[in-house]
């Protein structure tokens, strides 16, 4: 059995949590700060995640470390994904059980890229059960190649089933019936830290109901060569591994979505990109902003917010905008993922149901507007997430890397998790309970596993880490936050 906990270094012992923060993260501490202004989203990429298994042959794999990247592997078994922001790329999966690649409930941000799935029996499904993006995936011999539902949608792009291009149907209203066929013994697995590999023997699964004289399902023999431990590395979003992956095919001025389900891809927008339809996907786009809002997700014609808007691998360059223009305004909920935002002066703003994750955001434009500046934040709203980003606000006028103020509504249910923060402002974050605001009582504001940097001040911000945060009341939580450069715990603000 191979156990990899997301912290393994080849030829070394498994490191403890404190030492990881002091060595693995510190060893990469310079990377997020390098080339702040020079690199672009189309630069050479360095797509390493929180854990990475590169070019190995292995048996069944369970992934429980957020940000894991499985790259160039051959998996003679299944892959179970029980963590956020997992990437599987350039990998071959061969399996004869029930589900070749399964995304478990609660796991968000899975991407499967340039991967082949070989299903070895009539009962075997390919990629299930939603909450994933599949791009250039080839599924062969599978009962169902791609499964998802309305509550757990999936995006399948440029993929094939048995050699034929796959056309994604509309998501069903309820979970697929095939989900009930999986043995209950695997429905509630016990997670183990990191990536664990176990033998893929079909004997470990409860057989599907059927006649006793039915021939056993074919199995894939494990490789005869010894299984090597994958190399695991950690890194943060940088200008080189965020933003567009592919060059633009066309250039346009202001651009707006036209219909539900539209895909806006490989285009350079000189001006504003506006989204006002359901199920719009934006990817591999550069926005050269020159107006008040550079990326704006706004209400539809009927006054309701569009649903399931995703903006991925997008660069926002505010060099041509005023220093007080806003790079991202999620007036309605959307997901901004793996983006690169730079040469801007104002905070990217969340209202309700918005997510910014896996992105590199630097607010470094200054001027005489007097505007309060930050990287990503809110002026009030509910159900927002800021996850696994590098967030920097530098220069005069910075308030914080993450400013959260109750100006227009209470700050409620805000998750701030696994971000790396630095600022020349007063504090690295404001916690949503600013007494001078109309709505001074933030609730369910959670700071979890963040890294506070001493890049500008030994206290992160000029005066400290976080201000206006009422820890331990109204559901507010402070847990697992550390100093980026040393790995030592950061005390909860008082």
Average pLDDT of span 32-48: 37
* pLDDT tens digits, one per residue of 243-278: 998 899 999 999 999 999 999 999 999 999 999 999
Q: Please report the pLDDT score of residue 53 as a whole number.
A: 53
What is the Cα–Cα distance from 428 to 472, expressed in whole angstroms?
Answer: 20
| Cα 25 → chain centroid | 18
Q: Which of 204, 238, 267 is the last residue of a domain?
A: 204
Residue 489 inside a domain? The answer is: no
Examine the domain organization and report whether 257 and 200 are in the same domain.
no
Residue 214 inside a domain? The answer is: no
Continuous segment of H or E residues that includes residue 362 = strand 360-363
Can you name the residues that pair with 342 across neighbouring β-strands?
Answer: 317
Examine the domain organization and report whether 266 and 199 are in the same domain.
no
Say if CB 126 and CB 144 are below 8 A apart: yes
Q: Which of 204, 229, 258 is the last residue of a domain?
A: 204
Helix (H, G, I), strand (E, B) or coil at 344: strand
Tokens coding 301: 């014609």
- Main-chain dihedrals φ then ψ at residue 272, nearest 5 degrees: -115, 140
Q: Please report the pLDDT score of residue 1 as a whole number.
A: 28
Examine the domain organization and report whether 73 and 9 are in the same domain.
yes
**What band does 169 get if pLDDT is binned at 50, 70 and 90?**
low
Q: Report the Cα–Cα distance between both ends of the chain, in Å, rounded.
A: 46
- Main-chain dihedrals φ then ψ at residue 316, nearest 5 degrees: -120, 115
Please tell me the total count of domains within the chain: 2
Say if CB 355 and CB 387 are below 8 A apart: yes
**What band does 370 get if pLDDT is binned at 50, 70 and 90?**
low
Is the pLDDT confidence value at 13 over 70?
no
Examine the domain organization and report whether 261 and 139 are in the same domain.
no
Owning domain of residue 77? 2-33+49-204
Say if CB 62 and CB 191 are below 8 A apart: yes
Tokens coding 467: 């201000």
Examine the domain organization and report whether 64 and 123 are in the same domain.
yes
What is the Cα–Cα distance from 216 to 420, expressed in whole angstroms?
Answer: 51
Examine the domain organization and report whether 426 and 328 are in the same domain.
yes
Residue 325 exposed, middle or buried by CB count within 10 Å (0-12, 13-18, 19+): buried
What is the Cα–Cα distance from 398 to 425, expressed in whole angstroms?
Answer: 5
- Main-chain dihedrals φ then ψ at residue 294, nearest 5 degrees: -85, -45
What is the Cα–Cα distance from 143 to 130, expressed in whole angstroms?
Answer: 16
What is the Cα–Cα distance from 111 to 217, expressed in whole angstroms?
Answer: 29
DSSP 21-51: HHHHHHHTTTGGGTTTTT--TTSPP----SE
What is the Cα–Cα distance from 106 to 66, expressed in whole angstroms?
Answer: 12
Is the pLDDT confidence value at 39 over 70?
no
Is the pLDDT confidence value at 48 over 90?
no
Is the pLDDT confidence value at 76 over 60?
yes
Name the residue with higher pLDDT: 369 or 471: 471
**What band does 32 get if pLDDT is binned at 50, 70 and 90?**
low
Examine the domain organization and report whether 160 and 53 are in the same domain.
yes
Residue 232 inside a domain? The answer is: no
Whether the upstream peptide bond of residue 276 has omega within 30° of 0, thus cis, is: no
Q: How far is CA 209 from CA 183, 201, 216, 227, 436, in A?
A: 10, 18, 12, 33, 65
Q: What is the dihedral of CA 376, 381, 383, 389, to 10 degrees?
A: 0
Is the pLDDT confidence value at 178 over 80?
no
**What band does 227 get if pLDDT is binned at 50, 70 and 90?**
very low
**What band does 327 get if pLDDT is binned at 50, 70 and 90?**
very high
pTM higher than 0.75: no
Examine the domain organization and report whether 271 and 180 are in the same domain.
no
Residue 224 inside a domain? The answer is: no
Residue 366 inside a domain? The answer is: yes
Residue 241 inside a domain? The answer is: no
Q: Please report the pLDDT score of residue 109 as a whole number.
A: 82
Burial 411-429 (b: 16+ CB within 10 A, else e): bbbbbbbbbbbbbbbbbbb
Q: What angle do CA 168, 171, 172 make, to 5 degrees?
A: 130
Is the pLDDT confidence value at 330 over 70?
yes
Examine the domain organization and report whether 283 and 195 are in the same domain.
no
- Main-chain dihedrals φ then ψ at residue 51, nearest 5 degrees: -140, 145
Tokens 């056309």 belong to 167
Q: Which of 204, 235, 259 is the last residue of a domain?
A: 204
Q: Please report the pLDDT score of residue 375 as a whole number.
A: 94
* pLDDT tens digits, one per residue of 418-452: 999 999 999 999 999 999 999 999 999 999 999 99
What is the chain's alpha carbon radius of gyration, rounded to the nearest angstrom?
23
Residue 234 inside a domain? The answer is: no
pLDDT above 70 as % of the chain = 74
CATH number of the domain residue 378 falls in: 2.160.20
**What band does 293 get if pLDDT is binned at 50, 70 and 90?**
very high
Examine the domain organization and report whether 166 and 259 are in the same domain.
no
Examine the domain organization and report whether 338 and 460 are in the same domain.
yes
Helix (H, G, I), strand (E, B) or coil at 416: strand
DSSP 174-204: S--GGGGGS-GGGTS----SSEEEE---GGG
Is the pLDDT confidence value at 125 over 60?
yes
Examine the domain organization and report whether 330 and 475 are in the same domain.
yes
Name the residue with higher pLDDT: 458 or 109: 458
Residue 95 inside a domain? The answer is: yes
């Amino acid at each position: 059995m191979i156990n990899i906990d997301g912290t393994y270094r080849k030829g070394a012992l498994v490191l403890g949590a404190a030492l990881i923060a002091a060595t693995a993260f510190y060893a990469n501490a310079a990377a997020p700060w390098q080339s702040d202004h020079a690199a672009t989203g189309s630069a050479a990429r360095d797509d390493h995640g929180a854990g990475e298994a590169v070019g190995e042959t292995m048996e069944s794999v369970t992934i429980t470390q957020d940000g894991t990247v499985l790259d160039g592997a051959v998996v003679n078994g299944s892959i179970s994904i029980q963590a956020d922001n997992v990437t599987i790329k350039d990998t071959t999966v061969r399996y004869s059980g029930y589900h070749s690649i399964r995304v478990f409930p609660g796991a968000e941000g899975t991407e499967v890229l340039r991967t082949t799935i070989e299903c070895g029996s009539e009962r075997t499904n390919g990629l299930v059960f939603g909450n994933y993006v599949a791009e250039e995936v080839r599924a062969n011999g599978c009962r169902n190649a791609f499964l998802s539902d309305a509550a757990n949608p999936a995006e399948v792009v440029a993929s094939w089933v048995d050699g034929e291009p796959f056309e994604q149907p509309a998501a069903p209203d309820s979970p697929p019936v095939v989900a009930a066929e999986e043995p209950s013994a695997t429905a509630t697995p016990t997670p183990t830290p990191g990536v664990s590999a176990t033998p893929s023997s079909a004997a470990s699964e409860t057989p599907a109901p059927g006649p006793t004289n039915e021939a056993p399902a074919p199995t894939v023999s494990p490789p005869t060569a010894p299984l090597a431990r994958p190399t695991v590395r950690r890194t943060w979003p940088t200008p080189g591994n965020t933003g567009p992956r592919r060059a633009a095919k066309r250039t346009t001025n202001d651009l707006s979505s036209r219909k539900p389900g539209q895909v806006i891809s490989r285009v350079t927008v000189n001006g504003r990109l506006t989204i006002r339809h359901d199920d719009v996907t934006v990817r591999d786009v550069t926005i050269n902003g020159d107006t008040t809002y550079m990326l704006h997700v706004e209400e539809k014609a009927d006054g309701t917010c569009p649903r399931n808007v995703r903006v991925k691998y997008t660069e926002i360059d505010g060099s041509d905008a005023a220093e007080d223009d806003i790079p991202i305004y999620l007036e309605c909920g959307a997901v901004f993922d793996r983006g690169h935002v730079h040469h801007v002066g104002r905070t990217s703003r969340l209202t309700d149901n918005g997510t910014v994750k896996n992105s590199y955001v630097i607010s470094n434009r200054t001027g005489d507007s007097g505007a309060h500046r930050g990287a990503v934040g809110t002026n009030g709203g509910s159900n927002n997430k800021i996850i696994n980003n590098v967030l920097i606000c530098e220069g005069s006028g910075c308030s914080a890397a993450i400013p959260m103020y109750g100006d227009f509504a209470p700050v409620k249910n805000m998750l701030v998790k696994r971000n790396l923060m630095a600022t020349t402002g007063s504090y690295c974050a404001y916690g949503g309970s600013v007494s001078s605001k109309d709505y001074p009582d933030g609730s369910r504001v959670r700071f979890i596993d963040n890294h506070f940097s001493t890049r500008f001040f030994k206290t992160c911000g000029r005066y400290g880490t976080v201000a206006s945060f009422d820890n331990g009341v109204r559901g507010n939580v402070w847990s697992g936050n550390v100093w980026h450069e040393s790995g030592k715990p950061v005390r909860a603000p008082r």
